Amino acid sequence: MAAAPTTDQAFSLLAAANNHGDLAVKMSSLKQAKDILLSIEPSLAAELFPYLVELQSSPESLVRKSLLDLIEEIGLKAMEHSSVFMPVLLALLKDVEPTVARQSIVIGTKFFCSVLEELALQFHRRGKIERWLEELWMWIAKFKDAVFAIALEPGSVGTKMLALKFLETYVLLFTSDTDDFEKAVTEASRQAFNISWLDGGHPVLDPVGLRSEANRTLDILLNLLRSADSLPGSLTITVVNCMLTSSLLRS
């Protein structure tokens, strides 16, 4: 019978992924380390997260992109240990390789939505918010600010398109709806977040402030549309699509 994988094995594989000179060996080691980290208890896997995040300094963009994929798989599974990953997502938003920056936006958006849902559900079920979740939300807020800046500053068109899609997501999340929170949490363990879930009050999330910021974000998209003549065609199309989606929800 084969021995169960151990944290020592994962540590050795992460060391190879960080230090070996051959890219193929790095990628193979990282894949094996990922399999181990996903198979062991999250609390044990978390002991190796500091070694995992060292890969953000890898000179190979493929390694950095694979790190982001791994952060998505492991971080969303072990959310209470995920604060260590947030500085990586923030740093790689500015990566010199556009595909890495874009991947950071995509994965950070998933974290944003998941943490938001967890904040609402945890307070509903326990009547309080654990410290780790508050800390994670503070990082998420920094991520949001960084992506908003990308959407409004000069840069890669492809990266800006994803940043604009994040703005659209922000508007959709914090626009009023009439869904029944009690029904939602009864029918499924996780549901897409709805701002109406916060109408009874929340110790971390301010529904009035979030709705107001969603309106300001919609104004940002509208102002971008007004200046469409100065935007590349693909960005104009993205802004129009974002506006249409947001308007349909609010109508």
What is the secondary structure of 106-132 as a DSSP string?
HHHHHHHHHHHHHHHHHHHHHSS--HH
Examine the pLDDT at 16 and tell me if it is beyond 90: yes
What confidence tens digit (pLDDT) does each residue in 108-144 have?
999 999 999 999 999 989 899 999 999 999 999 999 9
- DSSP codes joined into one string, 160-222: HHHHHHHHHHHHHHTS-----HHHHHHH-S-----GGGGTT--SS--HHHHHHHHHHHHHHHH
Examine the pLDDT at 199 and tell me if it is beyond 80: yes
> What is residue 187's predicted lDDT score, i.e. its pLDDT?
42
Residue of 99, 143, 136, 91 whose CA lies nearest to 118: 136
| Mean pLDDT in residue range 177-204 | 66
Alpha-carbon 152 to chain mean position: 19
| Mean pLDDT in residue range 158-173 | 92
> What is residue 246's predicted lDDT score, i.e. its pLDDT?
66
Indicate the pLDDT class of residue 247, thresholds 50, 70 and 90.
low
The answer to whether 38 and 76 have CB atoms below 8 angstroms apart is no
pTM of structure: 0.87
% of the chain beyond a pLDDT of 90: 62
Residue 56 to residue 65: CA distance in whole angstroms: 9
Work out the mean pLDDT of the chain and round it to a whole number. 87
Amino acid at 80: E
Indicate the pLDDT class of residue 234, thresholds 50, 70 and 90.
confident
The answer to whether 58 and 20 have CB atoms below 8 angstroms apart is no
What confidence tens digit (pLDDT) does each residue in 36-85 have?
999 988 888 999 999 999 999 999 999 999 999 999 999 988 899 999 99
The answer to whether 148 and 223 have CB atoms below 8 angstroms apart is no
Examine the pLDDT at 18 and tell me if it is beyond 80: yes
> What is residue 223's predicted lDDT score, i.e. its pLDDT?
85
Indicate the pLDDT class of residue 23, thresholds 50, 70 and 90.
very high
> What is residue 6's predicted lDDT score, i.e. its pLDDT?
81
Domains of the chain, CATH where assigned: 58-250 (1.25.10.10)
Examine the pLDDT at 196 and tell me if it is beyond 90: no
